[in-house]
Amino acid sequence: MSLYEGAVKKPIMTSLCFLAVVIFGLFSLSKLPVDLYPDIDTNTIMVMTTYQGASASDIENNVTRPLENVLNSVSNLKHITSKSSENISVITLEFEYGYDIDVLTNDVRDKLDMVNSALPE
């Protein structure tokens, strides 16, 4: 007798086996750990600056470039991108994984303090 013949000839046994698999699956599902909000550290810092009444080229020349020049020297920097538009400059710093983002943030603040006096009011 093949497996298929046995399943057809003994439907109660087939139903019990199916029920056992379902119960085992539900039990296993209840034991799976689920974390809705996992603790993930980002490796990105964004620096946003505003300069009211300035055009995009003024922002780029007077704000974005000086900030990029000083922020390029931050340690463990992987990639830097910037966007200048009217009244605002956004610089995104991406760092290597495995470094404490709080320490890197303090390094970025120190670099920004160094160039703060050279920026327009």
Q: Report whether 95 contacts 101 (CB < 8 A).
A: yes
Percent residues over pLDDT 90 in the chain: 46
pLDDT tens-place string over residues 55-90: 989 899 989 999 999 999 898 999 999 999 998 999
Residue 23 half-sphere exposure toward CB, CA atoms < 13 A:
6
Q: What letter would DSSP give residue 44? A: E
Q: What letter would DSSP give residue 117? A: G
Residues contacting 54, CB < 8 A, separation 6+: 62, 63, 86, 87, 120
Q: Which two tokens stand for residue 115?
A: 């160039």
Closest CA to 90 of 118, 60, 52, 55: 60
Q: What letter would DSSP give residue 63? A: I
Provide mean pLDDT across the span 94-108. 91
Residue 116 pLDDT greater than 90, yes or no: no
Q: Is the whole-model pTM more than 0.75?
A: no
- 3-class state of residue 5 by DSSP: helix
